[in-house]
Amino acid sequence: MWVQALKLKLLTALLSIIVLASLCITSIAASTGLDEGCRSVDPDGKVTEVIFPGIEVSYRPSIETSFPVERWAKNGIEVRNIGNEPVTLTFHVSAESGDIVVSDISPFPQPYTLYLDPGENQTIWYFIDGSYRSCGVLERGGGEVTVRVRIEKDGESAEIVITHLLLVVPEDQLEPNSVVEGYVKDLGGNPVLDAEVELEGANGPRYFTTTDHDGYFRVEVYAMRYGDTGELHGYNLRVRAPGFKEFNKAIFPEVGETLTVDVTLKPLVEVAEYELVTKVETSGYPIWIARLSADERFIVFGNGHYEEAEMEIGLPDHGVYFLSTNGSIIWSYLTSDQVWGVDVSSDGSYVAAAFLREGVVRLFDRQGNVLWIFPSEESREVKISHDSRYVAIGNTWGDLILVDLESGMEIWRTFLCGQVRWIVFTEDDSLIYAGAGDGYLYKVRVSDGEILGRAYVEAWPFHYGIALSEDEGLIATASKIGRIYLVNASTMEPLWSFDTRGACHWVDVEPNGKFVLIGSGGSYGRMLMYSNGSIAWFGPVSSCGCIIDSNHVAIAENSIEIRDVEGSLLWNFEDLDGSVGFLQFSKDRSKIYVVTNKATLYVFQGGFHSVEESEGVPGGFEEIFADVNFDGVVNEVDLEILMASYGARAGEPGFVAEADLNGDGIVNIVDLAILASCFPL
């Protein structure tokens, strides 16, 4: 009997241990997180565990990614301070496969430090792509890559191990599993025969067809969700026919879905024509950014942003160049140092330049004389205020520094918890918005350097990576690791975000905040997104671009394109000596200023004009203002179309761009009044 009793006690004890262990593994305390040593796994496989007293992490231990269609595998390890005291952590991320080890895959935040107040969390980001980070696995046809994330606190370290399975699936092996179909008609409802229909996937694949006599098209496509985010893979639907504007629309088909997209083609009524009037070659070395003075008389750029070992750097060509926009080199300051950050004052009287390795910022006058040298430490960012009273400097170690322009003396210094990248003054110079390596966008008061707010935007912004709407109510940011954010400037609350699946290059906001234009090196390389976060259209990679006005945009990579907001191509220029590193239009749209990555200045002159004849409409077409349906007369039909779209905003269902007669992004009483004024008496 005593043996059976002992067995019963042992069984009871064992069951108690199992129950306690199970509770430890599966329970998370709402206020304090997991107890030390506990670990939980949610239904999606995400692990949450305590790695130090008061420090909790959440991560995905394994990720499967198909190349090239997914382009990269991006992963985040969320680190949360569940203790009662502020903590500082450092981290390091490496990758390995077989005997190949990459000791540093350049994760984020940068520098590799987390500053966490009680209750605060931060994310360590990294990605595996076709570069060195994949340890040669993709070249070998696929396989596993092991990522090790080491986190350190007060001399102790913890390691997180994540397995990436990289599959190589050529595009011709992606079996279609979804259908996109529809009808293509003109504004009169007539079918358009032989219209070219293209479905271009984000980083592939691409499908082509043409419409039949009824204007019908049907395309079988490959649909999928990304392994790292679960988001749908997108396609840009492009339809072309002679005499019509190009149609573009972003779509995201589901697996097994038949998606119907009916297309109405509009007559081509406008084109752009520009000619090259000035070309000035300088050093031939790469540039990071260029800046145009507000009066459009001067432009400055410096040579930087490349691996020095790959460049034969030497005098007399390498340095900072200050030019007039009529094509004259006013002066150059020659140096073997890299110069990423440059700026010019509004009237061209001053130039500020950050010398990266020397760790100083120099202020020049219009003649190229050095007025002062400020010891900034390693810096890539410098910005002159609109009124030329201040120079703002951001360095690698997280300092945002305000300097008096006249004296060169420091006014204040504020720590932003990560390398400072891209600086913007508000129009009245009362505020600074600056990106930082900790993944936050900071709002800083100019008078005293106080931080008034911040918004999490994932990583530091790339060049041209912060843009404000004209009323400064909206801020768009472009992250180095791919995510676009739109932020409410007043509250510093993010409104929406989208991952372009590649390093973002630039961003711009339409003056009235109607839409955001984006460029990246990722799967979604160029995009127009409405202010509500919906995607209008997208296309391949873009190094630079800008919004010309409420109806036109410019996008560049190795060529320059002008498109309307619906994505229809109006003009392009391809004869450049390199990729575009700077692109800006004059305020009156008559000139285009371009600097390539070979440090060559191009100036184009021209403008927009209407097309009097269109082959797409029998008998030709002449544009009539307020003719919403382009039938050559303003009448009740135009009124019906406008009223059907009344109250709709750009990006919302039911919005008809042609009914938005004043181009303010909403169809309302103003458009109705414009239409009424054009009615025949």
State the pLDDT at residue 308.
58
Give the number of C-alpha atoms closer than 13 A to the C-alpha of residue 207, restricted to the C-beta side: 22
CATH number of the domain where residue 661 is located: 1.10.1330.10
Is residue 630 within 8 Å of residue 621, measured between CB atoms?
yes
| pLDDT tens digits, one per residue of 603-612 | 999 999 988 6
CATH number of the domain where residue 101 is located: 2.60.40.3880
Dihedral over alpha carbons 299, 305, 307, 310 (to 10 degrees): -30
Output phi, psi for 592, to 5 deg: -120, 130
Q: Work out the angle between the directed axes of helices 636-644 and 669-677 (0-180°, nearest 10).
A: 170
Cis preceding-peptide flag for 253 (omega within 30 of 0): no
State the pLDDT at residue 36.
52
| pLDDT tens digits, one per residue of 487-502 | 999 999 999 999 999 9
**Residue-averaged pLDDT of the chain:** 90
State the pLDDT at residue 16.
44
Tokens of 40: 């939980």
Q: Provide the pLDDT confidence category of residue 38 given band limits of 50, 70 and 90.
A: confident
Could you give the percent of the chain with pLDDT greater than 90?
Answer: 80
Task: Let me know whether 433 and 362 are in one domain.
Answer: yes
Task: Let me know whether 262 and 290 are in one domain.
Answer: no
Tokens of 34: 């997991």
Task: Let me know whether 392 and 299 are in one domain.
Answer: yes
Residue at 535 is within a domain: no
Residue at 19 is within a domain: no
CATH number of the domain where residue 312 is located: 2.130.10.10
Stretch 346-372: mean pLDDT: 98
- 263-265/178-186 β-pairing: parallel
SS3 310: helix
Residue at 235 is within a domain: yes
pLDDT at 444 over 80: yes
Task: End-to-end CA distance of the chain: give it in Å, rounded.
Answer: 111
Is residue 592 within 8 Å of residue 560, measured between CB atoms?
yes
* Nearest of 656, 615, 659 to residue 269 by alpha carbon: 615
Range among 31-40, 184-193, 629-638, 665-674 rated most confident: 184-193
* Nearest of 158, 164, 168 to residue 75 by alpha carbon: 164
**Residue 608's beta-bridge partner residues?**
272
Q: Which of 412, 431, 456 is the last residue of a domain?
A: 456
Cis preceding-peptide flag for 109 (omega within 30 of 0): yes
State the pLDDT at residue 612.
65
Number of residues assigned to the chain? 681
Task: Let me know whether 189 and 338 are in one domain.
Answer: no
Task: Let me know whether 358 and 444 are in one domain.
Answer: yes
State the pLDDT at residue 75.
97
Residue at 560 is within a domain: no
State the pLDDT at residue 631.
66
| pLDDT tens digits, one per residue of 213-266 | 999 999 999 999 999 999 999 999 999 999 999 999 999 999 999 999 999 999
Task: Let me know whether 255 and 299 are in one domain.
Answer: no
Task: Let me know whether 310 and 366 are in one domain.
Answer: yes
C-alpha distance from residue 19 to each of 9, 16, 47 (Å): 15, 5, 20
Is residue 299 within 8 Å of residue 593, measured between CB atoms?
yes
Query: In this predicted model, which residue has the larger pLDDT, 628 or 314?
Result: 628
State the pLDDT at residue 498.
97
Task: Let me know whether 254 and 132 are in one domain.
Answer: no
Q: How far is CA 260 from the centre of its chain?
A: 29
Residue at 245 is within a domain: yes
b/e per residue 260-269 (b: at least 16 CB within 10 A): ebebbbbbbb
Q: Provide the pLDDT confidence category of residue 5 given band limits of 50, 70 and 90.
A: very low
State the pLDDT at residue 650.
78
State the pLDDT at residue 616.
40
Residues 462, 463, 469, 473: is their CA dihedral positive or negative? positive
Burial class of residue 378 in the structure, from the number of CB atoms within 10 Å of its CB (0-12 exposed, 13-18 middle, 19+ buried): middle
Is residue 599 within 8 Å of residue 576, measured between CB atoms?
no
Task: Let me know whether 163 and 260 are in one domain.
Answer: no
Q: Report long-range pairs for 591-595 (Cβ below 8 Å, ≥24 apart).
A: 591/296, 591/325, 592/274, 592/554, 592/560, 593/292, 593/296, 593/299, 593/325, 594/556, 594/560, 595/287, 595/290, 595/299, 595/301
As a whole number of angstroms, the distance between CA 629 and CA 240 comes to 19
- 474-479/483-488 β-pairing: antiparallel
Task: Let me know whether 406 and 310 are in one domain.
Answer: yes
CA angle centred on 291, ends 285 and 293, rounded to 5°: 140
Residue at 461 is within a domain: no
Tokens of 642: 């406008």
pLDDT at 9 over 60: no
As a whole number of angstroms, the distance between CA 342 and CA 218 comes to 51
| pLDDT tens digits, one per residue of 293-316 | 999 999 999 998 876 555 565 656
Q: How many structural domains are present in the chain?
A: 4
The pTM of the full predicted model, rounded to 2 decimals, is: 0.86
**Residue 628's beta-bridge partner residues?**
none
Q: Which of 404, 422, 456 is the last residue of a domain?
A: 456
Query: In this predicted model, which residue has the larger pLDDT, 643 or 36?
Result: 643
pLDDT at 629 over 90: no
As a whole number of angstroms, the distance between CA 202 and CA 70 comes to 8
34's CB contacts (< 8 A; 6+ apart) are 27, 28, 40, 48, 49, 50, 56, 82
Give residue for tokens 């606190």.
Answer: 153
DSSP for 28-94, written as a single string:
-BTTTBSPTT-EEE-TT--EEEEEETTEEEEE-SEEEEEETTT--EEEEEEEEE-SSS-EEEEEEEE
Residue at 198 is within a domain: yes
pLDDT at 448 over 70: yes
Give the number of C-alpha atoms closer than 13 A to the C-alpha of residue 334, restricted to the C-beta side: 8
* Nearest of 601, 590, 564 to residue 246 by alpha carbon: 564
Is residue 127 within 8 Å of residue 481, measured between CB atoms?
yes
Residue at 15 is within a domain: no
pLDDT at 537 over 70: yes
C-alpha distance from residue 448 to each of 161, 312, 411 (Å): 44, 43, 8
Tokens of 76: 């985040």
Task: Let me know whether 353 and 414 are in one domain.
Answer: yes
As a whole number of angstroms, the distance between CA 483 and CA 499 comes to 4
State the pLDDT at residue 627.
81
1's CB contacts (< 8 A; 6+ apart) are none
Stretch 40-57: mean pLDDT: 94
- 544-549/535-539 β-pairing: unpaired
Is residue 245 within 8 Å of residue 610, measured between CB atoms?
no
Q: Provide the pLDDT confidence category of residue 659 given band limits of 50, 70 and 90.
A: confident
Could you give the percent of the chain with pLDDT greater than 70?
Answer: 90
Give residue for tokens 């990722």.
Answer: 522
As a whole number of angstroms, the distance between CA 593 and CA 605 comes to 9
DSSP for 602-639, written as a single string:
EEEEEEEEE-S--TTSTT-----TT-TT-SSS-SHHHH
| pLDDT tens digits, one per residue of 638-648 | 888 888 889 88
SS3 171: helix
pLDDT at 568 over 90: yes
State the pLDDT at residue 674.
80
pLDDT at 274 over 50: yes
Q: How many CB atoms lie within 10 A of CB 107?
A: 23
Task: Let me know whether 252 and 298 are in one domain.
Answer: no
Q: Which domain holds residue 662?
A: 636-677
Is residue 301 within 8 Å of residue 338, measured between CB atoms?
no
Q: Which of 266, 301, 327 is the last residue of a domain?
A: 266
Q: Provide the pLDDT confidence category of residue 33 given band limits of 50, 70 and 90.
A: very low
